[in-house]
Chain A
Amino acid sequence: MTSSMTMDRTTDAATGFLGTRPEGSRMTIMQSFSDLMHQRQERETHKRTRPVETEVVAKLDVRNLNFFYGEKQALFDVSMTIAERSVTAFIGPSGCGKSTFLRALNRMNDIIEGARHNGTVLLEGQEIYAPDVDVVALRKRVGMVFQKSTPFPKSIFDNVAYGPKIAGQRNRKALSEIVEQSLKRAALWDEVKDRLQDSALALSGGQQQRLCIARALATNPDVLLMDEPASALDPASTARIEDLIFELKQNYTIVIVTHNMQQAARISDRTAFFFQGYLIEVDATQKLFTTPTKKQTEDYITGKFG
C-alpha cells in the first residue's frame, strides 16, 4: 500500500522508540485490543451482519493522492480503496493528514484557499476531481458530519429538511416523510418527534450530533464521512453514536476519523493508520490492532506516541 520511499523514512524514525520499550506492556495492550475484537465479533454475530471480508465492491478508490495547503504538503502519495457498506476508520496522531484525506473525499478542501492536489479519487469508478464534475452533486452523494455539531440556528425540522429543500423538494408532505425517516435512521425520532418546530440549539450535545447525522442522511447520500463525530460527547452519547454507526453501515459506506483507537477497534471493519501525511498501514481492523505489520503502527497503538 505504501510506497518504498515512505517506508525508509518512517522506519528510521521509529526504531528509536522500539529499543526502549518494555516488552511486557506491549503484550498487555495487544491483549486488550484482542479482547475488544472478541467482544465485537460477538456483537456482529448477534446482529447477523455480513462478514466484512466478503465485501468486494469498492465504493471509493484513491490512487496516489498528494495534497498541499499552499507550500505545505499534507498528504504524500496515499492510495486506498474503501469498500461499500462498511465502516472504515482513520487513526493517527493529530496533524497526520487523516482529516485532510477525509475532506478530500467530498472536496470540502476546495473551500480552503491555496489547497491543491494531484492523484485520483474515484467514486464508483468516476474521478471526482474531473473538471466536469459538479461539486454540489458530489457532496449530495458523499455526506459529512463534523467534530463539533453544527446545527443551523433553526428548528429541528428545518435543519433536517434543509438538504432536500435546496435540492428542489418543495412538497411539504414529502419533506415531512424525509424528515421522519432521516430522524428514525439517526435514532433521534422518538426523542424529538413532539417538538420538531423547537430550535435545534436547544438539544443536548449528543442529540445535536445525531441531528447532524440525520441532516446528512436526509440528502440520501451513499457515503457518510465523519470527522471525529463523538470526540466532543460524553460516554453515553458516544455509545449511542457508535451503535448508530453500526446500524447505518447496512445501507451506507461510512468513513470515520477518530483520535480514539478503542473507538476505531469497536466500530470499524477496516482501519487505516496515518502518520506525518503518509498512509502507513491499512488493513482489516482486527488484524491491524492485533498483528500490525509496520513498527510505527505498533508504536502508535501501544501508546508509544501520539
Chain B
Amino acid sequence: MSVAQTTPPLTLKPASGLIKKFSLTRAKEGVIKGLLFVCASLSLVTTLMIVWMFLTEAVFGIGGNTAFFQEVSLLDFLTDTQWSPQFSEKHFGILPLLCGTVVIAGIGGLIGLPIGLAAAIYLSEYAKPKLRRIIKPLLEILAGVPSVVYGYFALVFITPYVLRPIFQSLLGIDVDVFNAMSAGIVVGVMIIPTVCSLSEDALRSVPGGLREAGYALGSTNFDVSLKVVVPAAFSGIVASFLLAISRAIGETMAVCIGAGLMPRLSLNPFRSMQTMTAYMVNASLGDTPAGTIEYKSLYGVGFMLFLITLGMNILAQRVMKRFREVYE
C-alpha cells in the first residue's frame, strides 16, 4: 500500500476560517430565499385578487363605480325567475341559470359518478396489474381531452345520432339542437376520470387485512368489494364525488356548446338551457362594454359560481381529511 506516500502532506489552516464573513455567496442565499418566498406567496396574491375583484365589482363599488349587487338587490337576484339582461326589460334572476347548471351537473353526475365508481372498483379489486397499466393512461387521455372537443361531440354526434333517434323518433319527445341532455352526457364522461382515479386511491388505501378477513368468512369477491371495501372507503368516495360535481358545475365550453344559450327555468332536459358558466361566455361574446349592467352581471354570476364551487371543494377536503385520519 503506497497510497499515503504518493499524496502530498497537508497544511493546517488557521481556525479563524470559521468566522462568518460577508461574501457574495451568503448574500445570494438571502436574496434567493426572498425571491422564492415571493413566488410562493403569489398563489395567495391570486386568491386575494379573486376576492378583491368580486368584492369591488359585485358587492361594493369603489371610485364612483357601482357594484352589481348595489344595482340589483340580492333578493331579486335569488328569487326572480327570469334572466334577461340583454332585453330592454331587464331581469336578473339567477334561478334559470342555476336550474340549467343543476340539471346538467345532475345528469352528468347520474352518469359519471356510478360509472366512475364502478371503474374504480374494477381497477382496484378485479383488474390485473397488466390491464391497469393499459387502462390508466387511456383514462388520463380521456381526462386530457379539452372541453371544447366534448362540446363539439355533444352537438354533432350525441344529439343527432343518439338522442334524436331514441327520444324523438322512438318516443316522440322533441329534442332541441341544443339540449341539456347532450351536455349532461358529455359532462358525465368528463368526470369519469376524476371520480375513477380519486375513488381508486381511496379504495386502495383500505388495508388488505380487511379484504382477507372478508374472504376468510366465505365472502365472494362481490361481497368483499361492495360490503367491505366500499363502505370502508366511503368518505374518500364521497370526497371524489363532491370534487367531480364541483368540476361539473364549473364546466364551461362543453356546456356552452352542447346546451346552448337559452336561460330557461325548466326540468325538461331535451330543451336548450343556459348555465351560469355559459352565460358568462355568452355575455363576453357580444363584447359588452365595461360599466354597463350586463357587464357587471358577469361578476354577480361569477361570484355565485365561485362560492358554490369553493363550498363544495372545502367540503370535499374536510371529508377527505377525515378519511385520511382513519387510515393513516
Contact = CB atoms under 8 A, between A and B. Distances in A.
A243 B1 contact: yes
A220 interface: yes
Interface string B1-26: 10110111110110111111100011
Nearest to B12: A222
B19 A132 contact: yes
B9 A251 contact: yes
A185 B17 contact: no
Contact of A125 (B1, B3, B12, B15): B15
A126 B18 contact: yes
A128 B20 CA distance: 11
A168 B9 CA distance: 23
A134 B3 contact: no
A160 interface: no
Contacts of B4: 185, 247-248, 250-251
A184 interface: yes
Contact of B18 (A133, A181, A187, A247): A133
Please tell me the size bucket of the interface on A.
20 to 34
Given A184-B6, A184-B7, A187-B3, A133 B15 contact: no
A220 B19 contact: no
Contact of A222 (B3, B8, B9, B13): B13
Given A132-B20, A134-B20, A243-B1, A251 B15 contact: no
Interface string A137-170: 1100100000000000000000000000000100
B17 A141 contact: yes
B10 A251 contact: yes
Contact of A138 (B7, B12, B18, B26): B18
Interface string A235-263: 00000000100011011100000000000
B20 A124 contact: no
A251 B17 CA distance: 19
A123 B15 CA distance: 8
A111 B8 CA distance: 34
Contacts of A124: 15
A222 B17 CA distance: 12
A63 B26 CA distance: 30
Contact of B3 (A138, A168, A184, A220): A184
Nearest to A134: B20
Contact of A220 (B10, B18, B26): B10
B10 A134 contact: no
Contacts of A185: 3-4, 7
Nearest to B19: A132
Contact of B20 (A133, A184, A187, A252): A133
A132 B15 CA distance: 13
The listed residue with most A CB atoms (<10 A of its CB), out of B8, B10, B21, B26, is B10
B123 to A, nearest CB: 32
Interface in B84-132: none
Contact of A126 (B8, B12, B15, B25): B15
A128 B12 CA distance: 17
18 contacts: A124-B15, A128-B18, A133-B18, A134-B20, A141-B17, A168-B25, A181-B8, A184-B6, A185-B3, A187-B1, A187-B3, A220-B10, A222-B10, A247-B1, A248-B4, A251-B9, A251-B10, A252-B10
Can you list the 9 inter-chain pairs with the closest CB atoms, starting with the nearest?
A124-B15, A134-B20, A126-B15, A247-B4, A133-B18, A251-B10, A137-B18, A132-B20, A187-B3
Interface of B: 1, 3-4, 6-10, 12-13, 15-21, 25-26
Given A133-B18, A134-B21, 8 more contacts: A134-B19, A137-B20, A138-B18, A181-B8, A187-B1, A222-B12, A243-B1, A247-B4
